[in-house]
Chains A and B, each alone.
Chain A
Amino acid sequence: MAKPPLPVEDLVRSYGPTLKYTPPGGWTQSARHAGDRLVKTHCCFCGQQCGIQLRVRENEVIGFEPWDEFPFNRGMLCPKGVKRYLQGSHPDRLLDPLLRTDTGFRKASWDEALAMTAQRLREIQDRHGRDSVAVLGGASLISEKSYLLGKFARLALGTRHIDYNGRLCMVSAGTGYKLALGVDRNPNPWSDIPEAQVVIVAGSNVAECFPITTDYLWRMRDNGGKLIVVDPRRTPICRNADLYLPVKPGMDTALFAGILHVVLKEGLEDRAFIENHTTGFEAVEQYVKEWDPRRTAEATGVPPEAIEKAARWFGKAERAMALHARGVEHHSHGVENVLAIVNLCLATGNIGRPGAGPNMITGQGNGQGGREHGQKCDQLPGQRHIDDPAARKYVAGVWGVEPDSLPSAGYTAMEILEAIHRGEIKGLLSICFNPLVSLPDAGYIREALNKLEFFGIIDFFLSETAHHADVVLAGSLQEEEEGVVCSGEGRVIKINKAVDPPGNAWADSRIIVDLAKRLGAGDRFRFASTREIFDEMCVASKGGTADYSGITWERLEKEMGLFWPVPSENHPGTPRLFEDRHFKHPDGKAHFLVAEVKPGGDPLDSSFPLHLTTGRVVSQFLSGTQTRRIGPLVDQYPEPRAEIHPELAARHGIANGELMTVTTRRASMTLPALVVRTIRPDTVFIPYHWPGRKSVNGLTHRTLDPRSKIPEFKSSACRIGKAAVPDGMNSSGQLNVLGGG
């Protein structure tokens, strides 16, 4: 039973989060030494993948220098990028493998830890079948590691259950784009944004989650373009919006149906494009007929005039873009929301041209690359489907195995946890994933983890999920291995190694290769370096949708990255897709698909009359395993607060800063109120970066989109009330948790 061996407070005391404020050597050392190295690489955090130079002295990252020449961000960085270097040489860093004992964790040798991991996983498979163990990966891993992990699951463990935390991020967008356009990649490079005359930003807190994109949007406006923001909250990007559409959480499909309704009614569609390059338009046209502005306004909370204005601006523009992120995608109908946006772009012919197209804003560092080369439950390298016989034959050939030996599609991330909960999956190996903080219904996730017969985890800090592990394999930070990632633009870029893993920590790839050998698959994993993994990955991707076969590490550095597909070594890459109006379906057409307005999975009623929605703040990243250990980032936003409108606050007698309780059908939490007029009065917003009593994911629900299997983080039914000061809090409402808690 994978239960934490000690109370969480004791584990926090030993393993953090500890707040680190100063670089190695302290502030009194001079900033620049003659012997320092500047390593050109990219930020370890979000999908923008800003270029940055890490300043390295001996074997420590001691600071950074902006990298002006990298074209995407030209030196710009958000606060996470500025302070990311503080994750190096951190007191919480795991320097040895750990084994759980009755009284905590003890250090172990690599041989003992790896032997036990391989043996326990194999024992479970021998008793319960090979699909009784699962592998979880992450979208912060370089592509070499995610490729390696996919191959490891299918060949070394032979399980069909491997999935990754991109399942909480990009899958609704990816599924929607594959259905409509035949490929899961952004159609446009970001340099197209300033060229657009109108940009809709839907469900994306750009200023906090993708700060560098702000500059692209401001430049678009400098060029005379108009910015339309669709969000239940007036986030900072709204300060220069030309039009703000305050949509009710989850009603994006209706809103975009209403916008398309007006476009068609006023004849602003591109008939020639629709007729020559698409299929399925008539059904969509028929469906949106009933979504007139009045009805749309009732459903969405957006005034009818605003719907008409948005439609006219978008429809009349020669070049219009629609950017979207998790706000529209984190729904049980996330794919519908995405399709509704794509339909609008297709109907107006906005695709395949500069400044025109639907685009997703990728969340995680390798959110794009991590979903291309076989880390997903239904995928083989090159963005191929695992049930496609030709794909199986080709990849099996590259791997030197029989096609029939490859497992078929397995469970998605949330389904893996549900299978653990019901006892079907009994062993788990996880890397780069903190499901206890990041998955919905945290109480249920905790129960599932407690049921595991064996839980091995690869990580560099002891995350809250790792508290449950039997074995913790001390792995590597992003700056400790060389490889590639694919940024949100679709640009494959080079991650350079700055330092070696400290202490007895190992590079992640070395750990996985060693485990493969111990599981008897050593002959398929003869990798001495990540470059060898990269070379095999390129071959495995050849001929697939995400074709990397013309990419070399040298080209990436020389050409500041390459946009895939790059099918040969003299191919220049593909910054903009569909310029030839040829879409990636067998018929070469883009497909209109009816995006049906559907209710959410946790409906509002008289007991739970408000929407609870979750998201991020600028100074924290995802489950906070890294950023909750960086002092200046924690100080900027130390703990969650619930944003509520003054009208709602007044109804419950809650003043700004006072403690309030938010309750859903699953759980409740108490936290300080942030009373602001920048949120809909029927909506409560809480950021999700914290564990335990600070975790809003204790309150969220497990309903998944049936196609993408993304959880519905963006709308849970809730009620609120004024709270008394409970036990465990001081009078100012601060939770009494150690360190970054």
Chain B
Amino acid sequence: MLGYEFYVDPSRCIGCQSCVNACGECGTHRGVSLIHLDFFDREWTTASTPMVCMHCENPTCAQACPADAIKKGEDGVVRSALKPRCIACSNCVLACPFGVPKVQIEMELMMKCDMCYDRTSVGLRPMCATVCPSQALMYVTPAEAARLRRDTPVNTFRFGNQEVKTKVFVYLPQGEDALAVEADVVNDLWRSTE
């Protein structure tokens, strides 16, 4: 849908899993839910956050793909892997800084959120952002977003030394211009497997 953008506001999420249930109703991957919903630490909090594909300008998943199976369309939407090319090696799964792609073992195929291009191409909003009862997931024009929300939408992310620009926006407190994850991801990865 021309002029519409996708916004994620984790602070609005109520963990209801509407998006998880609705994702599998999308026509391009019927019966397979690709959105992520994380509950941080249920002992301490009910807080949760949804994670859609951020649709990077320069997708790390595509860079890491040895089979050249991951393509970005002119609309800026990064598609699931091409079935004839994907070797289900999971490089993209490991490489994505947001942890988005999933390998469907039985299909030997990486699938991920494609921002419901079957819907947006015919003037319908993505399924998750349509149903989301708290509008933690929102698909509107930037002007509408500015009218509705006080917080700041950002689409620049820093993971250590890697800077990623994305099509999807995430809301941060007013005045923030980027989300920086300062932890050394690679070392943390080793630590967690020790």
A, B in one complex:
yes
For residue A636, which residue of chain B has the nearest CB? Answer: B17
Count how many pairs of residues, one from A and one from B, have CB atoms less than 8 Å apart in the complex.
116
CB of B25 within 8 A of chain A? yes
Minimum CB–CB distance for A223 against chain B, Å:
9
The interface residues of chain B, by DSSP majority, are classed as: loop
CB of B27 within 8 A of chain A? yes
Give the docked Cα–Cα distance between A235 and B130 (Å): 24
Which of A156-164, A212-220, A556-564 is near enough to bind chain B? Answer: A212-220
Whether the Cβ atoms of A76 and B133 lie closer than 8 Å is yes
Whether the Cβ atoms of B131 and A237 lie closer than 8 Å is no
Give the docked Cα–Cα distance between A32 and B132 (Å): 22
Residues A215 and B15 in contact in the complex (CB < 8 Å), given A31-B30, A63-B25, A674-B42: no
CB within 8 Å of B: which of A219-240?
219, 222, 234-240
Minimum CB–CB distance for B132 against chain A, Å:
7
Which of B44-52, B67-75, B98-106, B178-186 is near enough to bind chain A? Answer: B44-52
For residue B46, which residue of chain A has the nearest CB? Answer: A236
Whether the Cβ atoms of B31 and A22 lie closer than 8 Å is yes
Whether the Cβ atoms of A66 and B130 lie closer than 8 Å is yes
Give the docked Cα–Cα distance between A370 and B74 (Å): 53
Minimum CB–CB distance for A627 against chain B, Å:
12
Of A31, A214, A234, A656, which contacts B134 at CB under 8 A?
A214
Whether the Cβ atoms of A77 and B22 lie closer than 8 Å is yes
Of A63, A238, A618, A646, which contacts B17 at CB under 8 A?
A618
CB of A632 within 8 A of chain B? yes
For residue B133, which residue of chain A has the nearest CB? Answer: A211
CB within 8 Å of A: which of B15-29?
15-18, 20-22, 25-27
Give the docked Cα–Cα distance between A215 and B13 (Å): 10
Residues A68 and B46 in contact in the complex (CB < 8 Å), given A79-B18, A222-B150: no
Of B11, B16, B43, B148, which contacts A646 at CB under 8 A?
B43
Q: Which residues of A contact B14 (CB under 8 A)?
A: 207-208, 211, 214, 236-237, 239
Whether the Cβ atoms of A215 and B25 lie closer than 8 Å is no
CB of B36 within 8 A of chain A? no
CB of B165 within 8 A of chain A? no
Minimum CB–CB distance for A44 against chain B, Å:
16
CB of A82 within 8 A of chain B? yes
Minimum CB–CB distance for A179 against chain B, Å:
33
Q: Which residues of A contact B44 (CB under 8 A)?
A: 676-678
Q: Which residues of B contact A240 (CB under 8 A)?
A: 11-12
Whether the Cβ atoms of B27 and A214 lie closer than 8 Å is no
Minimum CB–CB distance for B15 against chain A, Å:
6
CB of A442 within 8 A of chain B? no
For residue B122, which residue of chain A has the nearest CB? Answer: A32
Whether the Cβ atoms of A239 and B45 lie closer than 8 Å is yes
Residues A75 and B125 in contact in the complex (CB < 8 Å), given A82-B131, A677-B44: yes
Whether the Cβ atoms of A75 and B27 lie closer than 8 Å is no
Q: Which residues of A contact B18 (CB under 8 A)?
A: 76-79, 81-82, 211
Q: Which residues of A contact B48 (CB under 8 A)?
A: 236
Q: Which residues of A contact B26 (CB under 8 A)?
A: 31
CB within 8 Å of B: which of A7-55?
22, 27-28, 30-32
Whether the Cβ atoms of A75 and B25 lie closer than 8 Å is no
The interface residues of chain A, by DSSP majority, are classed as: mixed
Whether the Cβ atoms of A68 and B125 lie closer than 8 Å is yes
Interface size on A, residues (CB 8 A): 48
CB of A454 within 8 A of chain B? no
For residue A27, which residue of chain B has the nearest CB? Answer: B31
Whether the Cβ atoms of A82 and B25 lie closer than 8 Å is yes
Whether the Cβ atoms of B47 and A239 lie closer than 8 Å is yes
Q: Which residues of B contact A248 (CB under 8 A)?
A: none
Q: Which residues of A contact B148 (CB under 8 A)?
A: 219, 222
Minimum CB–CB distance for B179 against chain A, Å:
19
CB of A675 within 8 A of chain B? yes
Interface 1/0s, chain B 126-153, versus A by CB < 8 A?
A: 0100111111000000000000111000
Whether the Cβ atoms of B21 and A632 lie closer than 8 Å is yes
Whether the Cβ atoms of B16 and A78 lie closer than 8 Å is yes
Give the docked Cα–Cα distance between A218 and B138 (Å): 13
Minimum CB–CB distance for A308 against chain B, Å:
26
Residues A77 and B133 in contact in the complex (CB < 8 Å), given A63-B25, A68-B125, A236-B15: yes
Residues A675 and B43 in contact in the complex (CB < 8 Å), given A79-B21, A211-B14: yes
CB of A619 within 8 A of chain B? yes
Whether the Cβ atoms of A238 and B46 lie closer than 8 Å is yes
Residues A215 and B133 in contact in the complex (CB < 8 Å), given A31-B25, A79-B18: yes
For residue A211, which residue of chain B has the nearest CB? Answer: B133
Q: Which residues of A contact B149 (CB under 8 A)?
A: 222
Whether the Cβ atoms of A75 and B130 lie closer than 8 Å is yes
Q: Which residues of B contact A636 (CB under 8 A)?
A: 17, 21
For residue B9, which residue of chain A has the nearest CB? Answer: A218
CB of A326 within 8 A of chain B? no
Q: Which residues of B contact A235 (CB under 8 A)?
A: 46
Whether the Cβ atoms of B133 and A78 lie closer than 8 Å is yes
Minimum CB–CB distance for A61 against chain B, Å:
13
Give the docked Cα–Cα distance between A242 and B22 (Å): 31
Minimum CB–CB distance for B170 against chain A, Å:
16
Q: Which residues of B contact A675 (CB under 8 A)?
A: 43
Q: Which residues of B contact A239 (CB under 8 A)?
A: 11, 14, 45-47
Minimum CB–CB distance for A166 against chain B, Å:
24
Whether the Cβ atoms of B131 and A77 lie closer than 8 Å is yes
Give the docked Cα–Cα distance between A68 and B118 (Å): 17
Whether the Cβ atoms of A76 and B12 lie closer than 8 Å is no
Minimum CB–CB distance for A239 against chain B, Å:
5
Q: Which residues of B contact A583 (CB under 8 A)?
A: none
CB of A64 within 8 A of chain B? yes
Of A68, A76, A234, A238, which contacts B132 at CB under 8 A?
A76
Whether the Cβ atoms of A76 and B42 lie closer than 8 Å is no
Q: Which residues of A contact B133 (CB under 8 A)?
A: 73, 76-78, 211-212, 214-215
Minimum CB–CB distance for A321 against chain B, Å:
19
CB of A330 within 8 A of chain B? no
For residue B28, which residue of chain A has the nearest CB? Answer: A31
Q: Which residues of A contact B20 (CB under 8 A)?
A: 79
For residue A50, which residue of chain B has the nearest CB? Answer: B133
Whether the Cβ atoms of A79 and B16 lie closer than 8 Å is yes
Q: Which residues of A contact B42 (CB under 8 A)?
A: 674, 676
Minimum CB–CB distance for A629 against chain B, Å:
15
Q: Which residues of B contact A222 (CB under 8 A)?
A: 148-150
Residue from A73, A218, A675 having most chain B Cβ neighbours under 10 A: A218
CB of A83 within 8 A of chain B? yes
Whether the Cβ atoms of B46 and A64 lie closer than 8 Å is no
Give the docked Cα–Cα distance between A215 and B18 (Å): 14
Whether the Cβ atoms of A82 and B21 lie closer than 8 Å is yes
Minimum CB–CB distance for B145 against chain A, Å:
11
Q: Which residues of A contact B25 (CB under 8 A)?
A: 31, 63-64, 82
Q: Which residues of B contact A31 (CB under 8 A)?
A: 25-27, 30, 118
Residues A30 and B15 in contact in the complex (CB < 8 Å), given A75-B125, A236-B46: no
Task: Report 21 cross-chain contacts, Cβ distance below 8 Å, ordered by A residue.
Answer: A31-B26, A64-B25, A68-B125, A76-B133, A77-B18, A78-B131, A79-B16, A82-B25, A82-B131, A211-B16, A214-B12, A215-B134, A218-B134, A222-B148, A222-B149, A234-B46, A236-B47, A240-B12, A636-B21, A676-B43, A677-B45
Further contacts, 11 of them, CB under 8 A, given A32-B27, A82-B25, A82-B131:
A66-B125, A78-B133, A79-B17, A79-B20, A208-B16, A211-B14, A211-B16, A236-B47, A632-B21, A678-B44, A678-B45
**Among all A-B residue pairs, the 8 with the closest Cβ atoms:** A27-B31, A211-B133, A207-B14, A31-B27, A236-B14, A27-B30, A214-B134, A236-B46
